[in-house]
Structure 1
Amino acid sequence: MAPRRNYTPEQMGKAMEAVRRGEKVAVAALQYGVPRITLYNKVTGRTQIGCTMGPNTVLTTLEEQILVKWLLALCEKHFPITKDVLLDSVQKIMADQGRENPFTNNRPGKKWFQSFLKRHPDLVLRTPENLSNARDNVTEANIRNWFTEIEQYLEDNNLKDILKEPSRIFNADESAFFLSPKPGHVLTKKGQKHLYSTCGDDKENLTVLFTANAAGMIAPPMIVFSYERIPANIAASVPDEWAVGKSESGWMCSDTFYEYITNIFNPWLEEMKIKKPVLF
Protein backbone atom coordinates (compact mmCIF):
# COMPACT_ATOMS: atom_id res chain seq x y z
CA MET A 1 0.00 0.00 0.00
CA ALA A 2 1.39 3.42 -0.99
CA PRO A 3 2.15 5.81 1.87
CA ARG A 4 -0.49 8.46 2.55
CA ARG A 5 0.42 12.08 1.97
CA ASN A 6 -0.91 15.14 3.74
CA TYR A 7 -2.23 17.96 1.58
CA THR A 8 -4.82 20.70 1.88
CA PRO A 9 -8.00 21.10 -0.18
CA GLU A 10 -6.46 24.29 -1.56
CA GLN A 11 -3.49 22.35 -2.93
CA MET A 12 -5.75 19.79 -4.57
CA GLY A 13 -7.95 22.54 -5.96
CA LYS A 14 -4.98 24.34 -7.53
CA ALA A 15 -3.68 21.08 -8.98
CA MET A 16 -7.09 20.27 -10.50
CA GLU A 17 -7.33 23.76 -11.97
CA ALA A 18 -3.88 23.33 -13.53
CA VAL A 19 -4.94 20.05 -15.14
CA ARG A 20 -8.09 21.68 -16.51
CA ARG A 21 -5.87 24.35 -18.10
CA GLY A 22 -3.96 21.63 -19.94
CA GLU A 23 -1.18 20.72 -17.50
CA LYS A 24 -0.22 17.05 -17.25
CA VAL A 25 -1.52 15.26 -14.15
CA ALA A 26 1.97 14.14 -13.07
CA VAL A 27 3.39 17.65 -13.42
CA ALA A 28 0.51 19.29 -11.53
CA ALA A 29 0.69 16.66 -8.75
CA LEU A 30 4.41 17.30 -8.27
CA GLN A 31 4.04 21.08 -8.39
CA TYR A 32 1.29 21.26 -5.77
CA GLY A 33 2.39 18.36 -3.57
CA VAL A 34 -0.64 16.09 -4.03
CA PRO A 35 -0.85 12.35 -4.89
CA ARG A 36 -0.90 11.76 -8.65
CA ILE A 37 -3.45 8.94 -8.56
CA THR A 38 -5.78 10.90 -6.24
CA LEU A 39 -5.54 13.92 -8.53
CA TYR A 40 -6.30 11.77 -11.58
CA ASN A 41 -9.29 10.18 -9.86
CA LYS A 42 -10.73 13.56 -8.91
CA VAL A 43 -10.34 15.23 -12.33
CA THR A 44 -11.82 12.17 -14.04
CA GLY A 45 -14.72 11.96 -11.58
CA ARG A 46 -13.79 8.58 -10.13
CA THR A 47 -13.82 10.06 -6.60
CA GLN A 48 -15.67 13.03 -5.15
CA ILE A 49 -13.81 16.33 -5.18
CA GLY A 50 -14.43 16.86 -1.47
CA CYS A 51 -13.17 13.41 -0.48
CA THR A 52 -9.79 13.39 1.31
CA MET A 53 -7.55 10.66 2.67
CA GLY A 54 -5.03 10.49 5.45
CA PRO A 55 -5.13 11.65 9.08
CA ASN A 56 -6.29 15.14 10.03
CA THR A 57 -3.61 17.76 10.61
CA VAL A 58 -3.04 18.98 14.18
CA LEU A 59 -3.74 22.58 13.19
CA THR A 60 -6.82 23.42 11.16
CA THR A 61 -6.52 24.62 7.58
CA LEU A 62 -7.42 28.14 8.69
CA GLU A 63 -4.81 28.11 11.47
CA GLU A 64 -2.09 27.03 9.06
CA GLN A 65 -3.16 29.70 6.59
CA ILE A 66 -2.84 32.31 9.35
CA LEU A 67 0.66 31.03 10.19
CA VAL A 68 1.69 31.23 6.53
CA LYS A 69 0.28 34.74 6.18
CA TRP A 70 2.12 35.80 9.35
CA LEU A 71 5.54 34.44 8.34
CA LEU A 72 5.27 35.89 4.80
CA ALA A 73 4.32 39.29 6.26
CA LEU A 74 7.42 39.20 8.48
CA CYS A 75 9.51 38.19 5.48
CA GLU A 76 8.22 41.21 3.51
CA LYS A 77 9.31 43.43 6.43
CA HIS A 78 12.82 41.88 6.28
CA PHE A 79 12.37 39.94 9.52
CA PRO A 80 12.02 36.37 8.19
CA ILE A 81 11.53 33.61 10.74
CA THR A 82 13.49 30.40 11.10
CA LYS A 83 12.18 26.86 11.34
CA ASP A 84 12.65 26.92 15.13
CA VAL A 85 10.58 30.09 15.50
CA LEU A 86 7.73 28.48 13.57
CA LEU A 87 7.90 25.36 15.76
CA ASP A 88 8.01 27.57 18.88
CA SER A 89 4.82 29.29 17.70
CA VAL A 90 2.99 26.01 17.15
CA GLN A 91 4.16 24.78 20.55
CA LYS A 92 2.75 27.91 22.19
CA ILE A 93 -0.59 27.41 20.44
CA MET A 94 -0.77 23.84 21.69
CA ALA A 95 0.18 24.83 25.25
CA ASP A 96 -2.09 27.89 25.47
CA GLN A 97 -5.13 26.00 24.21
CA GLY A 98 -4.38 22.75 26.03
CA ARG A 99 -5.02 20.93 22.79
CA GLU A 100 -4.33 17.21 22.50
CA ASN A 101 -1.52 16.50 20.07
CA PRO A 102 1.03 13.78 19.22
CA PHE A 103 4.02 16.07 19.81
CA THR A 104 6.64 15.68 22.54
CA ASN A 105 6.22 18.55 25.02
CA ASN A 106 3.69 20.16 22.61
CA ARG A 107 6.50 20.89 20.12
CA PRO A 108 6.28 19.59 16.51
CA GLY A 109 9.23 17.68 15.12
CA LYS A 110 10.98 17.25 11.79
CA LYS A 111 8.20 15.12 10.28
CA TRP A 112 5.51 17.73 11.01
CA PHE A 113 7.68 20.50 9.56
CA GLN A 114 8.33 18.56 6.35
CA SER A 115 4.60 17.85 6.01
CA PHE A 116 3.84 21.53 6.65
CA LEU A 117 6.10 22.52 3.73
CA LYS A 118 4.40 19.93 1.51
CA ARG A 119 0.99 21.33 2.42
CA HIS A 120 2.24 24.81 1.52
CA PRO A 121 4.44 24.33 -1.56
CA ASP A 122 4.88 28.10 -1.98
CA LEU A 123 7.19 28.08 1.08
CA VAL A 124 10.88 27.25 0.98
CA LEU A 125 13.93 27.45 3.27
CA ARG A 126 16.62 29.89 2.17
CA THR A 127 19.54 31.86 3.63
CA PRO A 128 18.90 35.65 3.64
CA GLU A 129 21.36 38.48 3.07
CA ASN A 130 22.06 40.87 5.93
CA LEU A 131 20.66 44.34 5.34
CA SER A 132 21.43 47.31 7.57
CA ASN A 133 18.67 49.68 8.70
CA ALA A 134 20.13 52.51 6.63
CA ARG A 135 19.93 50.53 3.37
CA ASP A 136 16.55 49.09 4.34
CA ASN A 137 15.03 52.61 4.34
CA VAL A 138 15.96 53.45 0.72
CA THR A 139 12.88 53.70 -1.54
CA GLU A 140 12.43 53.47 -5.31
CA ALA A 141 11.49 57.17 -5.33
CA ASN A 142 14.85 58.02 -3.70
CA ILE A 143 16.73 56.12 -6.40
CA ARG A 144 14.81 57.62 -9.31
CA ASN A 145 15.29 61.10 -7.89
CA TRP A 146 19.04 60.45 -7.61
CA PHE A 147 19.30 59.63 -11.32
CA THR A 148 17.31 62.73 -12.23
CA GLU A 149 19.59 64.96 -10.19
CA ILE A 150 22.77 63.44 -11.66
CA GLU A 151 21.50 63.89 -15.23
CA GLN A 152 20.57 67.50 -14.53
CA TYR A 153 23.98 68.18 -12.97
CA LEU A 154 25.81 66.82 -16.02
CA GLU A 155 23.61 68.89 -18.31
CA ASP A 156 24.11 72.11 -16.33
CA ASN A 157 27.91 71.70 -16.29
CA ASN A 158 28.36 70.54 -19.89
CA LEU A 159 29.67 67.15 -18.77
CA LYS A 160 27.36 64.81 -20.68
CA ASP A 161 30.27 63.86 -22.96
CA ILE A 162 31.49 61.66 -20.07
CA LEU A 163 28.59 59.30 -20.77
CA LYS A 164 30.08 58.53 -24.20
CA GLU A 165 33.26 57.07 -22.67
CA PRO A 166 32.69 53.95 -20.51
CA SER A 167 36.18 54.19 -19.01
CA ARG A 168 35.22 57.50 -17.35
CA ILE A 169 32.06 56.18 -15.64
CA PHE A 170 32.78 54.61 -12.24
CA ASN A 171 30.69 52.87 -9.64
CA ALA A 172 31.85 52.04 -6.12
CA ASP A 173 30.19 49.80 -3.58
CA GLU A 174 31.03 48.81 -0.03
CA SER A 175 30.62 45.23 1.14
CA ALA A 176 30.33 44.80 4.90
CA PHE A 177 31.69 41.53 6.23
CA PHE A 178 29.79 41.05 9.48
CA LEU A 179 31.64 39.31 12.28
CA SER A 180 28.30 38.20 13.77
CA PRO A 181 26.74 35.12 12.15
CA LYS A 182 23.80 35.20 9.75
CA PRO A 183 20.50 33.78 11.02
CA GLY A 184 20.79 30.64 8.91
CA HIS A 185 17.89 29.22 6.90
CA VAL A 186 14.58 31.08 7.18
CA LEU A 187 11.14 30.50 5.69
CA THR A 188 10.10 32.52 2.65
CA LYS A 189 7.99 32.32 -0.48
CA LYS A 190 9.30 30.01 -3.18
CA GLY A 191 10.78 31.93 -6.11
CA GLN A 192 11.42 35.17 -4.20
CA LYS A 193 14.41 36.79 -5.93
CA HIS A 194 15.81 38.84 -3.04
CA LEU A 195 15.71 37.83 0.61
CA TYR A 196 17.06 40.10 3.32
CA SER A 197 17.23 40.00 7.09
CA THR A 198 17.53 43.35 8.87
CA CYS A 199 20.52 43.12 11.17
CA GLY A 200 20.60 46.61 12.74
CA ASP A 201 23.73 48.72 12.99
CA ASP A 202 26.14 46.02 14.03
CA LYS A 203 29.55 47.62 14.58
CA GLU A 204 31.47 44.36 14.54
CA ASN A 205 32.42 44.22 10.89
CA LEU A 206 35.01 45.27 8.39
CA THR A 207 34.29 46.99 5.08
CA VAL A 208 35.76 46.50 1.62
CA LEU A 209 35.30 49.21 -1.02
CA PHE A 210 35.32 48.00 -4.63
CA THR A 211 35.47 50.42 -7.57
CA ALA A 212 35.10 49.64 -11.30
CA ASN A 213 34.19 51.49 -14.48
CA ALA A 214 31.74 50.72 -17.27
CA ALA A 215 34.62 49.45 -19.42
CA GLY A 216 35.26 46.65 -16.93
CA MET A 217 38.42 48.07 -15.33
CA ILE A 218 38.74 47.47 -11.57
CA ALA A 219 40.53 50.04 -9.42
CA PRO A 220 42.51 48.95 -6.34
CA PRO A 221 40.08 48.07 -3.49
CA MET A 222 40.21 49.42 0.04
CA ILE A 223 39.76 47.47 3.30
CA VAL A 224 38.51 49.42 6.32
CA PHE A 225 39.30 47.98 9.76
CA SER A 226 37.94 49.08 13.13
CA TYR A 227 41.37 49.03 14.80
CA GLU A 228 42.94 52.09 16.42
CA ARG A 229 46.22 50.77 15.08
CA ILE A 230 46.21 48.18 12.33
CA PRO A 231 48.38 45.18 13.37
CA ALA A 232 51.51 44.81 11.27
CA ASN A 233 50.74 41.21 10.31
CA ILE A 234 47.33 42.24 8.92
CA ALA A 235 48.76 45.18 6.99
CA ALA A 236 51.48 42.93 5.55
CA SER A 237 48.90 40.39 4.35
CA VAL A 238 47.12 42.93 2.13
CA PRO A 239 48.27 43.06 -1.53
CA ASP A 240 50.60 45.97 -2.25
CA GLU A 241 48.23 47.70 -4.67
CA TRP A 242 45.30 47.58 -2.22
CA ALA A 243 44.51 50.34 0.26
CA VAL A 244 44.10 49.88 4.01
CA GLY A 245 42.03 52.28 6.11
CA LYS A 246 40.61 52.46 9.60
CA SER A 247 37.58 53.89 11.35
CA GLU A 248 36.09 53.49 14.81
CA SER A 249 33.12 51.47 13.57
CA GLY A 250 34.68 49.59 10.67
CA TRP A 251 32.44 51.51 8.25
CA MET A 252 33.68 53.90 5.58
CA CYS A 253 33.84 57.50 6.85
CA SER A 254 34.60 60.83 5.14
CA ASP A 255 38.26 60.93 6.23
CA THR A 256 38.92 57.38 5.07
CA PHE A 257 37.12 57.95 1.78
CA TYR A 258 39.15 61.15 1.18
CA GLU A 259 42.38 59.20 1.73
CA TYR A 260 41.21 56.59 -0.78
CA ILE A 261 40.36 59.13 -3.49
CA THR A 262 43.54 61.14 -2.95
CA ASN A 263 46.17 58.45 -2.46
CA ILE A 264 44.75 55.45 -4.31
CA PHE A 265 42.05 56.24 -6.86
CA ASN A 266 43.43 59.46 -8.38
CA PRO A 267 46.98 58.07 -8.85
CA TRP A 268 45.44 54.98 -10.45
CA LEU A 269 43.45 57.17 -12.90
CA GLU A 270 46.66 58.89 -13.95
CA GLU A 271 48.54 55.60 -14.26
CA MET A 272 45.76 54.22 -16.49
CA LYS A 273 45.70 57.50 -18.49
CA ILE A 274 41.95 57.90 -17.98
CA LYS A 275 40.68 61.32 -18.99
CA LYS A 276 39.31 63.59 -16.27
CA PRO A 277 36.84 64.57 -15.02
CA VAL A 278 35.24 61.21 -14.38
CA LEU A 279 31.76 60.31 -13.12
CA PHE A 280 32.14 58.52 -9.80
Structure 2
Amino acid sequence: MNLLRKMPPKLKYSEEQMSLALNAVKQGMPVATAAKTFKVPRTTLLDKKTGRTPINRKMGPPSVLSLLEEEILVNWIFLMTQKHQPTKEQVLDSVQLIIKQEKRKSPFTDGRPGKKWFASFLKRNPQVTSRIAQNLTPARESVTEEKLRRWFQEIHEYLRSENLLDVTKDPTRVFNADESAFFLQPKGEKVLAKKGAKSIYIAGTNDDKENLTVLVTANGQGDFAPPMIIFKYERIPAHIAAGVNKEWGLGRSETGWMCGSTFFEYITNVFVPWLDRNTITRPILLFIDGHVSHMTYNLSQYCKQNQIEIIALYPNSTHLIQPMDVAVFKLLKTYWKKSCKTISH
Protein backbone atom coordinates (compact mmCIF):
# COMPACT_ATOMS: atom_id res chain seq x y z
CA MET A 1 0.00 0.00 0.00
CA ASN A 2 1.47 3.34 -1.06
CA LEU A 3 1.39 5.66 1.94
CA LEU A 4 3.02 8.54 0.07
CA ARG A 5 0.63 11.31 -0.82
CA LYS A 6 1.00 13.29 -4.01
CA MET A 7 2.07 16.82 -3.18
CA PRO A 8 -0.31 19.55 -4.42
CA PRO A 9 1.03 21.89 -7.11
CA LYS A 10 2.88 24.90 -5.81
CA LEU A 11 0.53 27.87 -5.58
CA LYS A 12 1.76 30.94 -7.43
CA TYR A 13 0.90 34.26 -5.87
CA SER A 14 2.11 37.85 -5.88
CA GLU A 15 3.58 39.83 -3.03
CA GLU A 16 0.53 42.08 -3.22
CA GLN A 17 -1.84 39.12 -2.77
CA MET A 18 0.00 38.06 0.38
CA SER A 19 -0.03 41.62 1.69
CA LEU A 20 -3.79 41.88 1.16
CA ALA A 21 -4.33 38.52 2.87
CA LEU A 22 -2.23 39.59 5.87
CA ASN A 23 -4.17 42.83 6.18
CA ALA A 24 -7.44 40.92 6.06
CA VAL A 25 -6.23 38.57 8.82
CA LYS A 26 -5.17 41.54 10.96
CA GLN A 27 -8.71 42.91 10.59
CA GLY A 28 -10.22 39.66 11.91
CA MET A 29 -10.67 37.44 8.87
CA PRO A 30 -9.84 33.75 9.57
CA VAL A 31 -6.54 32.56 8.05
CA ALA A 32 -8.24 29.85 5.98
CA THR A 33 -10.78 32.31 4.57
CA ALA A 34 -8.11 34.90 3.73
CA ALA A 35 -5.95 32.26 2.04
CA LYS A 36 -8.85 31.14 -0.12
CA THR A 37 -10.02 34.70 -0.87
CA PHE A 38 -6.62 36.01 -1.98
CA LYS A 39 -5.36 32.67 -3.38
CA VAL A 40 -2.28 32.29 -1.22
CA PRO A 41 -0.98 29.19 0.68
CA ARG A 42 -2.68 28.87 4.06
CA THR A 43 0.41 27.54 5.84
CA THR A 44 2.59 30.32 4.41
CA LEU A 45 0.05 32.93 5.46
CA LEU A 46 -0.07 31.43 8.97
CA ASP A 47 3.74 31.42 9.18
CA LYS A 48 3.90 35.09 8.22
CA LYS A 49 1.09 35.97 10.65
CA THR A 50 2.88 34.31 13.56
CA GLY A 51 6.29 35.65 12.56
CA ARG A 52 7.87 32.28 11.77
CA THR A 53 8.82 33.56 8.30
CA PRO A 54 9.50 37.11 7.02
CA ILE A 55 6.50 39.06 5.73
CA ASN A 56 8.27 40.26 2.57
CA ARG A 57 8.80 37.54 -0.01
CA LYS A 58 10.91 38.08 -3.11
CA MET A 59 9.34 36.59 -6.23
CA GLY A 60 11.20 36.75 -9.51
CA PRO A 61 13.34 39.74 -10.50
CA PRO A 62 13.31 42.80 -8.22
CA SER A 63 10.50 45.27 -8.96
CA VAL A 64 11.04 48.95 -9.74
CA LEU A 65 8.70 50.04 -6.95
CA SER A 66 8.65 48.51 -3.50
CA LEU A 67 5.52 46.89 -2.11
CA LEU A 68 4.90 49.95 0.05
CA GLU A 69 5.36 52.31 -2.91
CA GLU A 70 2.86 50.37 -5.01
CA GLU A 71 0.42 50.37 -2.12
CA ILE A 72 0.78 54.15 -1.84
CA LEU A 73 0.25 54.48 -5.60
CA VAL A 74 -2.91 52.36 -5.43
CA ASN A 75 -4.28 54.46 -2.56
CA TRP A 76 -3.54 57.60 -4.57
CA ILE A 77 -5.48 56.19 -7.54
CA PHE A 78 -8.49 55.57 -5.31
CA LEU A 79 -8.27 59.11 -3.97
CA MET A 80 -8.08 60.55 -7.49
CA THR A 81 -11.25 58.73 -8.57
CA GLN A 82 -13.16 61.11 -6.29
CA LYS A 83 -11.87 64.17 -8.18
CA HIS A 84 -10.40 62.84 -11.43
CA GLN A 85 -10.43 59.82 -13.66
CA PRO A 86 -6.91 58.38 -13.27
CA THR A 87 -5.45 57.30 -16.58
CA LYS A 88 -2.65 55.02 -17.58
CA GLU A 89 -0.54 58.04 -18.52
CA GLN A 90 -0.94 59.59 -15.05
CA VAL A 91 0.26 56.38 -13.41
CA LEU A 92 3.25 56.07 -15.75
CA ASP A 93 4.12 59.76 -15.25
CA SER A 94 4.08 59.22 -11.49
CA VAL A 95 6.38 56.19 -11.67
CA GLN A 96 8.76 58.03 -13.99
CA LEU A 97 9.01 60.98 -11.57
CA ILE A 98 9.67 58.63 -8.65
CA ILE A 99 12.46 56.90 -10.57
CA LYS A 100 14.07 60.19 -11.59
CA GLN A 101 13.81 61.84 -8.18
CA GLU A 102 15.22 58.77 -6.43
CA LYS A 103 17.87 58.36 -9.16
CA ARG A 104 16.83 54.73 -9.29
CA LYS A 105 18.08 52.32 -11.93
CA SER A 106 15.41 50.86 -14.18
CA PRO A 107 15.15 48.94 -17.47
CA PHE A 108 12.84 51.62 -18.90
CA THR A 109 13.68 54.17 -21.57
CA ASP A 110 14.15 57.53 -19.85
CA GLY A 111 12.85 55.92 -16.66
CA ARG A 112 9.31 55.64 -18.03
CA PRO A 113 7.61 52.21 -17.77
CA GLY A 114 5.64 50.87 -20.68
CA LYS A 115 2.75 48.55 -21.49
CA LYS A 116 4.38 45.44 -20.00
CA TRP A 117 4.97 47.07 -16.61
CA PHE A 118 1.49 48.57 -16.57
CA ALA A 119 -0.11 45.20 -17.35
CA SER A 120 1.88 43.60 -14.51
CA PHE A 121 0.88 46.44 -12.19
CA LEU A 122 -2.80 45.75 -12.89
CA LYS A 123 -2.30 42.02 -12.27
CA ARG A 124 -0.64 42.76 -8.94
CA ASN A 125 -3.44 45.14 -8.05
CA PRO A 126 -6.65 43.69 -9.51
CA GLN A 127 -8.80 45.98 -7.38
CA VAL A 128 -7.91 48.96 -9.62
CA THR A 129 -8.27 47.26 -13.00
CA SER A 130 -11.82 48.30 -13.85
CA ARG A 131 -11.34 51.95 -12.91
CA ILE A 132 -8.03 52.38 -14.72
CA ALA A 133 -9.17 50.55 -17.83
CA GLN A 134 -12.30 52.66 -18.13
CA ASN A 135 -12.34 54.82 -21.24
CA LEU A 136 -14.47 57.86 -21.96
CA THR A 137 -15.58 58.69 -25.49
CA PRO A 138 -13.97 61.85 -26.84
CA ALA A 139 -17.20 62.90 -28.56
CA ARG A 140 -18.55 66.11 -27.11
CA GLU A 141 -22.03 64.95 -28.04
CA SER A 142 -21.76 62.38 -25.24
CA VAL A 143 -21.89 65.17 -22.64
CA THR A 144 -25.47 65.47 -21.43
CA GLU A 145 -27.19 67.67 -18.88
CA GLU A 146 -27.79 64.60 -16.72
CA LYS A 147 -24.09 63.69 -16.69
CA LEU A 148 -23.06 67.24 -15.85
CA ARG A 149 -25.61 67.49 -13.02
CA ARG A 150 -24.34 64.17 -11.65
CA TRP A 151 -20.75 65.45 -11.81
CA PHE A 152 -21.70 68.64 -9.95
CA GLN A 153 -23.43 66.57 -7.29
CA GLU A 154 -20.44 64.23 -6.88
CA ILE A 155 -18.03 67.15 -6.53
CA HIS A 156 -20.37 68.85 -4.07
CA GLU A 157 -20.45 65.70 -1.94
CA TYR A 158 -16.68 65.38 -2.08
CA LEU A 159 -16.15 69.00 -1.02
CA ARG A 160 -18.65 68.55 1.78
CA SER A 161 -16.85 65.44 3.04
CA GLU A 162 -13.55 67.36 3.03
CA ASN A 163 -15.06 70.45 4.72
CA LEU A 164 -14.28 72.58 1.67
CA LEU A 165 -17.72 73.93 0.79
CA ASP A 166 -16.95 77.27 2.46
CA VAL A 167 -14.09 77.78 0.00
CA THR A 168 -16.58 77.94 -2.88
CA LYS A 169 -18.14 81.04 -1.31
CA ASP A 170 -14.89 83.01 -1.59
CA PRO A 171 -14.08 83.88 -5.25
CA THR A 172 -10.45 84.69 -4.37
CA ARG A 173 -9.91 81.05 -3.41
CA VAL A 174 -11.52 79.31 -6.40
CA PHE A 175 -9.19 79.03 -9.41
CA ASN A 176 -9.40 77.72 -12.93
CA ALA A 177 -6.41 76.81 -15.11
CA ASP A 178 -6.47 75.90 -18.77
CA GLU A 179 -4.04 75.68 -21.66
CA SER A 180 -4.43 76.48 -25.33
CA ALA A 181 -2.31 76.56 -28.47
CA PHE A 182 -1.37 79.88 -30.07
CA PHE A 183 -0.20 79.42 -33.64
CA LEU A 184 2.70 81.53 -34.85
CA GLN A 185 0.91 81.81 -38.18
CA PRO A 186 -2.86 81.86 -37.47
CA LYS A 187 -5.30 80.71 -40.13
CA GLY A 188 -6.11 83.22 -42.83
CA GLU A 189 -8.95 85.68 -42.45
CA LYS A 190 -11.88 86.06 -44.81
CA VAL A 191 -10.99 88.24 -47.81
CA LEU A 192 -12.94 89.82 -50.68
CA ALA A 193 -12.68 88.14 -54.08
CA LYS A 194 -14.45 87.83 -57.39
CA LYS A 195 -17.43 85.55 -57.17
CA GLY A 196 -16.57 82.11 -58.49
CA ALA A 197 -12.83 82.37 -57.84
CA LYS A 198 -11.54 78.94 -56.75
CA SER A 199 -8.16 79.75 -55.19
CA ILE A 200 -7.82 82.55 -52.68
CA TYR A 201 -4.48 82.97 -50.89
CA ILE A 202 -3.04 85.16 -48.20
CA ALA A 203 0.64 85.73 -47.52
CA GLY A 204 2.04 83.41 -44.89
CA THR A 205 5.22 81.80 -43.59
CA ASN A 206 6.60 78.32 -43.14
CA ASP A 207 5.53 78.44 -39.48
CA ASP A 208 1.84 77.83 -40.11
CA LYS A 209 1.87 74.68 -37.94
CA GLU A 210 4.19 75.89 -35.20
CA ASN A 211 2.61 76.99 -31.99
CA LEU A 212 3.13 77.94 -28.38
CA THR A 213 1.15 76.40 -25.55
CA VAL A 214 0.02 78.87 -22.92
CA LEU A 215 -1.35 77.96 -19.50
CA VAL A 216 -3.54 80.64 -17.94
CA THR A 217 -4.77 80.61 -14.33
CA ALA A 218 -7.20 82.98 -12.61
CA ASN A 219 -9.61 83.01 -9.70
CA GLY A 220 -13.31 83.82 -9.51
CA GLN A 221 -12.56 87.44 -8.67
CA GLY A 222 -10.65 87.90 -11.93
CA ASP A 223 -7.11 87.92 -10.49
CA PHE A 224 -4.67 86.33 -12.93
CA ALA A 225 -1.64 84.38 -11.75
CA PRO A 226 1.46 84.52 -13.98
CA PRO A 227 0.98 82.26 -17.01
CA MET A 228 3.31 79.58 -18.33
CA ILE A 229 4.51 79.23 -21.91
CA ILE A 230 5.55 75.82 -23.23
CA PHE A 231 8.04 75.63 -26.11
CA LYS A 232 8.87 72.67 -28.30
CA TYR A 233 12.59 73.01 -27.66
CA GLU A 234 15.19 70.78 -26.07
CA ARG A 235 16.73 73.98 -24.77
CA ILE A 236 14.97 77.35 -24.83
CA PRO A 237 17.09 79.94 -26.73
CA ALA A 238 18.51 82.67 -24.50
CA HIS A 239 17.04 85.51 -26.54
CA ILE A 240 13.54 84.04 -26.13
CA ALA A 241 13.93 83.50 -22.39
CA ALA A 242 15.23 87.05 -21.97
CA GLY A 243 12.13 88.48 -23.65
CA VAL A 244 9.65 86.82 -21.28
CA ASN A 245 8.43 88.44 -18.07
CA LYS A 246 10.55 87.12 -15.17
CA GLU A 247 7.46 86.18 -13.16
CA TRP A 248 6.09 84.01 -15.95
CA GLY A 249 6.82 80.32 -16.21
CA LEU A 250 8.85 78.88 -19.08
CA GLY A 251 8.59 75.21 -19.91
CA ARG A 252 9.60 72.80 -22.63
CA SER A 253 8.39 69.40 -23.76
CA GLU A 254 8.88 67.06 -26.70
CA THR A 255 5.43 67.81 -28.07
CA GLY A 256 5.20 71.47 -27.13
CA TRP A 257 2.20 70.67 -24.94
CA MET A 258 1.88 70.68 -21.18
CA CYS A 259 2.80 67.40 -19.49
CA GLY A 260 3.00 66.09 -15.94
CA SER A 261 6.50 67.40 -15.27
CA THR A 262 5.93 70.89 -16.71
CA PHE A 263 2.65 71.27 -14.81
CA PHE A 264 4.46 70.27 -11.62
CA GLU A 265 7.09 72.93 -12.33
CA TYR A 266 4.38 75.53 -12.87
CA ILE A 267 2.58 74.78 -9.61
CA THR A 268 5.78 74.67 -7.52
CA ASN A 269 7.80 77.49 -9.12
CA VAL A 270 5.12 79.93 -10.32
CA PHE A 271 1.65 79.40 -8.88
CA VAL A 272 2.42 78.74 -5.21
CA PRO A 273 4.94 81.61 -4.95
CA TRP A 274 2.26 83.90 -6.46
CA LEU A 275 -0.28 82.67 -3.89
CA ASP A 276 2.22 83.46 -1.13
CA ARG A 277 3.02 86.94 -2.45
CA ASN A 278 -0.67 87.78 -2.66
CA THR A 279 -1.48 86.24 0.73
CA ILE A 280 -4.29 84.11 -0.70
CA THR A 281 -6.09 82.28 2.11
CA ARG A 282 -5.70 78.51 2.04
CA PRO A 283 -7.04 76.02 1.24
CA ILE A 284 -7.94 76.85 -2.35
CA LEU A 285 -9.69 74.98 -5.16
CA LEU A 286 -8.06 74.64 -8.57
CA PHE A 287 -10.22 73.31 -11.41
CA ILE A 288 -8.38 71.97 -14.46
CA ASP A 289 -9.35 70.35 -17.75
CA GLY A 290 -10.71 66.87 -17.15
CA HIS A 291 -9.14 65.08 -20.13
CA VAL A 292 -5.56 66.29 -19.67
CA SER A 293 -3.22 63.99 -17.80
CA HIS A 294 -1.31 66.54 -15.69
CA MET A 295 -1.90 64.99 -12.31
CA THR A 296 0.85 62.83 -10.78
CA TYR A 297 1.36 61.36 -7.33
CA ASN A 298 4.20 63.83 -6.70
CA LEU A 299 1.96 66.79 -7.51
CA SER A 300 -0.81 65.41 -5.33
CA GLN A 301 1.55 65.23 -2.36
CA TYR A 302 2.86 68.74 -2.97
CA CYS A 303 -0.64 70.19 -3.30
CA LYS A 304 -1.74 68.43 -0.13
CA GLN A 305 1.15 70.04 1.76
CA ASN A 306 0.25 73.46 0.34
CA GLN A 307 -3.52 73.11 0.80
CA ILE A 308 -4.38 73.13 -2.90
CA GLU A 309 -7.32 70.94 -3.90
CA ILE A 310 -7.10 70.11 -7.61
CA ILE A 311 -10.33 68.92 -9.23
CA ALA A 312 -10.81 67.90 -12.85
CA LEU A 313 -13.75 69.28 -14.78
CA TYR A 314 -16.02 66.78 -16.48
CA PRO A 315 -14.22 65.41 -19.60
CA ASN A 316 -15.10 66.79 -23.03
CA SER A 317 -17.23 69.56 -21.54
CA THR A 318 -14.83 72.50 -21.83
CA HIS A 319 -17.07 74.16 -24.41
CA LEU A 320 -19.78 74.28 -21.72
CA ILE A 321 -18.23 74.67 -18.27
CA GLN A 322 -14.55 75.59 -18.72
CA PRO A 323 -14.36 79.32 -17.77
CA MET A 324 -11.07 79.94 -19.58
CA ASP A 325 -12.23 78.25 -22.74
CA VAL A 326 -15.60 80.01 -22.75
CA ALA A 327 -14.71 83.52 -21.55
CA VAL A 328 -10.96 84.15 -21.94
CA PHE A 329 -9.24 82.30 -24.77
CA LYS A 330 -11.68 83.29 -27.51
CA LEU A 331 -11.06 87.01 -26.96
CA LEU A 332 -7.35 86.51 -26.31
CA LYS A 333 -6.88 84.63 -29.58
CA THR A 334 -8.71 87.35 -31.49
CA TYR A 335 -6.13 89.90 -30.36
CA TRP A 336 -3.32 87.36 -30.89
CA LYS A 337 -4.29 87.03 -34.55
CA LYS A 338 -4.38 90.80 -34.97
CA SER A 339 -0.92 91.13 -33.40
CA CYS A 340 0.53 88.39 -35.60
CA LYS A 341 -0.93 90.08 -38.69
CA THR A 342 0.54 93.43 -37.68
CA ILE A 343 3.99 91.93 -37.10
CA SER A 344 3.97 90.01 -40.41
CA HIS A 345 3.22 93.26 -42.27
Normalising by structure 1, we get a TM-score of 0.43
